[in-house]
Amino acid sequence: MLWFRLSVFEDSPGKALGDVGERAEALGALLDELGVSEAARSTAGVSVAEEFDPPWRGNRGLGHRATARIVVRLSDPEVIGTVIARATEDLRASIDGPHWFVTPDNPARLEAARLAAADARGKAEAYAAGAGATLAGLVSLVEPEMDDRPAGIHRVSAAADGPDPPIEVEEPEVQATIDATFALRVAEDGGADQPHAEAAAAAPRPKRAKARKSRS
């Protein structure tokens, strides 16, 4: 994923918005040329605001700054490098990215979930054995909400007339976390032979699985 920022400072708000609008259209034409579908891009925001001198300088109005933010989802490192080079050189764009993430339909997500559940049961069995009991069955299995967005933001720029920046894709990892609760089977004498309705909670255990299918 790439975040494009187009910004300009002008005397009037209309002139500033006009400049940013023209460059946003040029960015769209560049993406069309490179075969990037319209479904893979979206406008994150457009703003225009007046800027002023600091109060100790009289707080005078200086002009207006317009800014447009566009988000583009890409998966081809070669296309990413070309977009970065041409957008920064031809359109004076600032770029945050690329950010890499695993698609929701990637099989690695299900594998990570399976490993997390198995790990939770193993932990619960160990705790129960230490208390002289066994597991009687699963009571609940809950997946807590987690932020699945990329953790880092990397600013990339390209020198004028320079080559496309090299884009290296790091193999991401998928992490799954669950809260598992099990019932315990406890014997009357403190052993583990007879069922007894007591609940035991297994701590959330993150598990990771390699993901070879990613998008930016």
Q: What is the CATH number of the domain that holds 29?
A: 3.30.70.2970
Q: Is the pLDDT of residue 159 over 70?
A: no
112: in domain = yes
pLDDT digits (tens, 9 = 90+) for 93-141: 999 988 887 777 888 888 988 999 999 999 999 999 998 899 998 999 8
The residue out of 96, 116, 139 marking a domain boundary is 96
Token digits for 70? 């566009």
208: in domain = yes
Q: What is the pTM of this model?
A: 0.59
159: in domain = no
Amino acid at 207: K
Q: What angle do CA 152, 36, 73 make, to 5 degrees?
A: 20
Structural domain for 87, as ranges = 2-96
Q: Give the total number of structural domains in the chain.
A: 2
